[in-house]
């Protein structure tokens, strides 16, 4: 029929993949794999050469995966290859302590037997997780990997495209920023961030110890900052030790033996003799939240959306929740015939995740501020508080369910259901 | 344009023409429809998948199906159907909606046959479809039975007719007219005339008289806490939807 407003040129969208994912760390690959389950294709762009990302040695980094995160990895087909190298976290003990004085008598004790859903989580080393993601992506025909490529420009006004440093342009339907807390994707989209530093630095390392850890994770709240001992496979543990910036700088400058000497009194000798197992790392602690998790045909996930204080090991877990929520929202949209990058679809993701994230950011911030000091009244208050939580089983179970990630409006992938 | 007799009330068409340009702005005047859309699509897609034995997780599950979207407006339902692989005709009696919908489909890389016409005119021309989608239209027509009969004639034997409208009771008056038009200003005042609303029993009776067998009915329920819509088996008190099948 005669149609006066018919557009002169029929625009046909030629795309390289449905999703263009910038950042190939952990959340980006997880999203690509989850999206592939719903038939969506992805191009995953990472700045590092693939060799670096497949390094086999243990570099000391590991993650405390909440039970729900483990279920997500299972749902996207990764867990079978990881299970042998994962240490179940059977108990968590939280203690308020001061160096040299030993732990305060009041502590919280969480035992997985009380939540009846299996271990509260798993400790997995970075090297195994990264390799598993790379292998799974290489085996997935819907995923294209672009290693050692840097994005220099992006355009999401009509479709979603990025320009690589080589000048090559990649086109998709939606652009995903999974490029960390200094996300270039967010910056190029002019999404501002809110955040602050804590004046603290996390010293991270792995240790080998004489006595078995029994699958118990420890969290000590020291005046200078929290110290976590997380059980790895064998007689090894991962240490995440937050100190004031000045202290951290001083400690990190020490030789290995002196470094261990500084560490030892903080948690006592219950693990027997200790020695370093891998590289030492430092991370400045800060909180940074993107003012919006979405833009035109764009979504941010993981630290690009929210970098929280790593006090409870919730950084990767929060990122994987983004992954599960965004994958579910997009796959549901595909099955309804909706445009996966329409503002309405992306808004569903933002609504789902922003509230959760704000709660987490506030909780970890408050927790850290409350525990990172040596004011007697606060110390007494928190000891009593911990004693109280510990003595009331229902409160304790709520804390555990929170730590295991079992609270809130869970995406399907985190309940062990397929999309 | 079409000179065929039609049952569209001219005063109704003018109201929607005034709003046509805003169809695709999710925060614009059609925000309520955009909010309701996922819920409508969930119902429509699951009914079609069930009736024609299609797997929604497969690519282009509706390939081979010819679908008519009556009162297509800006194409909020036509585009998803085309994306799912169907051959889609979008019909609207408001002439201004057609170019708006056409331009948007082309921007989205979709091929949809948008026509300024009516159900009656299409039926007279002998057009046949596997599915007729007829959402929030029947409460705007002058003669519902004549209109639904035209919809029935457009169906192939075994075809599916999905029809939604608004119930007639004090609650629907409060929600659809006072709530949506006066308080929330979601819809322009005068969008709906309450006495044209139809109860589910009346609609099913009309559908039966038109020659199709009603097989399912569900409510669209707005949750003001979650600020979103969901499907309900029991609550058909305001917005509701029906599915009917033309005997083979």
**What part of A 16-55 touches B (C-beta under 8 Å)?**
38-39
**What part of A 120-159 touches B (C-beta under 8 Å)?**
158
Q: Using pLDDT thresholds of 50, 70 and 90, give the confidence band for residue B24.
A: confident
Q: What pLDDT, on a 0 to 100 scale, did the predictor assign at position B240?
A: 96
Question: What's the average model confidence in pLDDT over B114-133?
Answer: 97
- Name the residue in chain A with its Cα closest to that of B62: A337
Q: Is A12 on the interface with B (CB under 8 A)?
A: yes
Q: Is A339 on the interface with B (CB under 8 A)?
A: yes
Instruction: Output the tens digit of pLDDT for each of chain A's 419 residues.
Output: 444 343 333 344 589 999 999 999 999 999 999 999 999 999 999 998 887 777 777 677 788 898 889 999 999 999 999 999 999 988 888 777 654 455 555 566 777 666 666 788 899 988 899 999 999 999 999 999 999 999 999 999 888 999 999 999 999 999 999 999 899 999 999 999 888 777 888 888 999 999 999 999 888 877 777 788 889 999 999 988 888 899 999 999 999 999 998 888 777 788 899 999 888 888 887 788 898 999 999 999 999 998 866 554 567 888 999 999 999 999 999 999 999 999 889 999 998 887 766 666 666 566 566 555 555 555 555 555 555 555 566 666 666 666 556 666 778 887 777 77
Tell me the nearest-neighbour CA distance from A320 into chain B, angstroms.
Answer: 23
Taking contacts as CB-CB distances below 8 angstroms, the residues of chain A near B27 are 343
Q: Using pLDDT thresholds of 50, 70 and 90, give the confidence band for residue B33.
A: confident
| Residue B132: strand, helix, or coil | strand
pLDDT: is A265 or B244 the higher one? B244
Facing residue for A336 by CB, picked from B34, B45, B99: B45
Range of the domain at A367: 19-413
Contact predicate B41/A338, CB 8 Å? yes
Q: What pLDDT, on a 0 to 100 scale, did the predictor assign at position B158?
A: 97
Q: ipTM score of the complex?
A: 0.84
- Within a domain: residue A1? no
Q: What pLDDT, on a 0 to 100 scale, did the predictor assign at position A378?
A: 53
Hey, which residues does A323 pair with through a beta bridge? none
Rounded CA-CA distance B245/B248 in Å is 9
Q: How many CA atoms lie within 13 A of A338 on its CB side?
A: 25
Q: Do B83 and A344 touch (CB under 8 A)?
A: no
CATH number at residue A228: 3.50.50.60
Q: Is 0.90 topped by the overall pTM? A: no
> Where exactly are the structural domains of chain B?
10-245
Burial of A141 (0-12, 13-18, 19+ CB in 10 A): exposed
Q: What pLDDT, on a 0 to 100 scale, did the predictor assign at position A358?
A: 65
Taking contacts as CB-CB distances below 8 angstroms, the residues of chain B near A5 are 99-100, 102-103
- Within a domain: residue A418? no
Q: Is B216 on the interface with A (CB under 8 A)?
A: no
Q: Do A335 and B115 touch (CB under 8 A)?
A: no
Q: Is A418 on the interface with B (CB under 8 A)?
A: no
Q: What pLDDT, on a 0 to 100 scale, did the predictor assign at position B212?
A: 98
Facing residue for B45 by CB, picked from A337, A344, A347: A337
Rounded CA-CA distance B134/B43 in Å is 13
Q: Is B84 on the interface with A (CB under 8 A)?
A: yes
Taking contacts as CB-CB distances below 8 angstroms, the residues of chain B near A11 are 106-107, 109
Tell me the nearest-neighbour CA distance from B80 into chain A, angstroms.
Answer: 4
Number of domains in chain A: 1
Contact predicate B179/B149, CB 8 Å? no
Helices A27-37 & A67-75, crossing angle to 10 degrees?
50
- Paired sense of beta strands B66-70 and B129-135, if any: parallel
- Within a domain: residue A9? no
Contact predicate A401/A56, CB 8 Å? no
Q: Do B106 and A344 touch (CB under 8 A)?
A: no
Q: What pLDDT, on a 0 to 100 scale, did the predictor assign at position B16?
A: 46
Rounded CA-CA distance A269/A264 in Å is 7
Q: Which DSSP symbol is given to A413? A: G
The CATH class given to the B10-245 domain equals alpha beta
- Within a domain: residue A294? yes
- Residues contacting A211, CB < 8 A, separation 6+: A235, A270, A271, A272
Rounded CA-CA distance A29/A161 in Å is 19
Chain A, chain B: beta-carbon pairs less than 8 Å apart? 61
Task: Give the gyration radius of chain B's Cα atoms.
Answer: 17
């Amino acid at each position: 029929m005669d149609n006066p407003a018919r557009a002169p040129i029929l625009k046909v969208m030629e795309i390289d993949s449905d999703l263009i994912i910038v950042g190939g760390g952990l959340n980006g690959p997880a999203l690509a794999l989850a999206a592939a389950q719903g038939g969506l294709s992805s191009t995953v762009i990472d700045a590092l050469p693939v060799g670096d990302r497949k390094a086999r040695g243990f570099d000391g980094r590991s993650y405390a995966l909440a039970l729900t995160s483990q279920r997500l990895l299972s749902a996207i087909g990764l867990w079978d290859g990881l299970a042998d190298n994962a240490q179940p976290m059977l108990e968590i003990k939280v203690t308020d302590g001061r160096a040299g004085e030993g732990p305060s008598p009041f502590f919280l004790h969480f035992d997985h037997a009380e939540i009846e859903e299996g271990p509260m989580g798993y400790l997995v080393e970075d090297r195994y997780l990264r390799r598993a993601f790379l292998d799974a992506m290489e085996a997935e025909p819907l995923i294209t990997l672009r290693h050692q490529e840097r994005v220099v420009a992006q355009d999401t006004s009509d479709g979603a495209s990025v320009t690589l440093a080589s000048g090559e342009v990649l086109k998709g339907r939606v652009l995903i920023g999974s490029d960390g807390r200094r996300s270039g994707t967010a910056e190029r989209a002019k999404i501002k961030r809110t955040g602050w530093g804590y004046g603290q630095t996390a010293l991270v390392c792995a240790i080998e110890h004489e006595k078995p850890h029994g699958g118990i994770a420890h969290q000590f709240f020291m005046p200078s900052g929290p110290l976590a001992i997380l059980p790895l496979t064998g007689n090894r543990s991962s240490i995440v030790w937050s100190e004031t910036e000045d202290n951290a700088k001083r400690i990190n400058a020490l030789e290995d033996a002196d470094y261990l000497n500084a560490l030892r009194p903080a948690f006592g000798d219950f693990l027997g003799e200790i020695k370093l197992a891998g590289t030492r790392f430092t991370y400045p602690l800060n909180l940074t939240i993107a003012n919006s998790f979405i833009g035109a045909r764009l979504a941010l996930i993981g630290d690009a959306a929210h970098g929280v204080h790593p006090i409870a090991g919730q950084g990767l877990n929060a990122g994987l929740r983004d992954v599960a929520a965004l994958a579910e929202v997009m796959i549901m949209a595909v099955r309804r015939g909706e445009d996966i990058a329409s503002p309405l679809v992306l808004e569903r993701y933002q609504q789902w995740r922003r509230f959760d994230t704000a709660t987490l950011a506030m909780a970890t911030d408050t927790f850290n501020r409350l525990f990172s000091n040596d004011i007697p009244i606060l110390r007494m208050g928190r000891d009593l508080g911990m004693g109280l939580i510990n003595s009331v089983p229902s409160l304790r179970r709520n804390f555990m369910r929170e730590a295991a990630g079992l609270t809130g409006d869970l995406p399907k992938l985190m309940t062990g259901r397929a999309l | 344009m079409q000179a065929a007799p039609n049952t569209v009330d001219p005063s109704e068409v003018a109201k929607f023409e005034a709003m046509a340009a805003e169809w695709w702005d999710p925060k614009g005047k059609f925000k309520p429809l955009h909010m309701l859309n996922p819920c409508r699509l969930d119902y429509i897609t699951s009914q079609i998948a069930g009736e024609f034995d299609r797997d929604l997780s497969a690519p282009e599950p509706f390939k081979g199906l010819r679908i008519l979207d009556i009162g297509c407006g800006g194409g909020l339902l036509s585009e998803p159907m085309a994306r799912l692989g169907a051959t889609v005709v979008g019909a609207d009696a408001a002439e201004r909606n057609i170019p708006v919908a056409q331009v948007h489909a082309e921007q989205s890389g979709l091929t949809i046959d948008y026509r300024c016409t009516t159900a009656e005119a299409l039926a007279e021309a002998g057009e046949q479809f596997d599915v007729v989608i007829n959402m929030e239209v029947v409460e705007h027509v002058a003669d519902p039975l004549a209109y639904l009969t035209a919809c029935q004639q457009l169906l192939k034997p075994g075809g599916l007719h999905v029809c939604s409208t608004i119930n007639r009771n004090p609650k629907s008056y409060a929600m659809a007219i006072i709530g949506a038009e006066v308080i929330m200003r979601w819809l322009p005042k005068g969008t709906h005339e309450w006495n044209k609303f139809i109860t589910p029993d009346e609609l099913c009776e009309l559908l039966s008289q038109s020659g199709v067998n009603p097989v399912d009915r569900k409510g669209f329920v707005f949750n003001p806490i979650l600020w979103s819509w969901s499907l309900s088996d029991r609550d058909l008190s305001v917005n509701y939807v029906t599915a009917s099948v033309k005997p083979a």
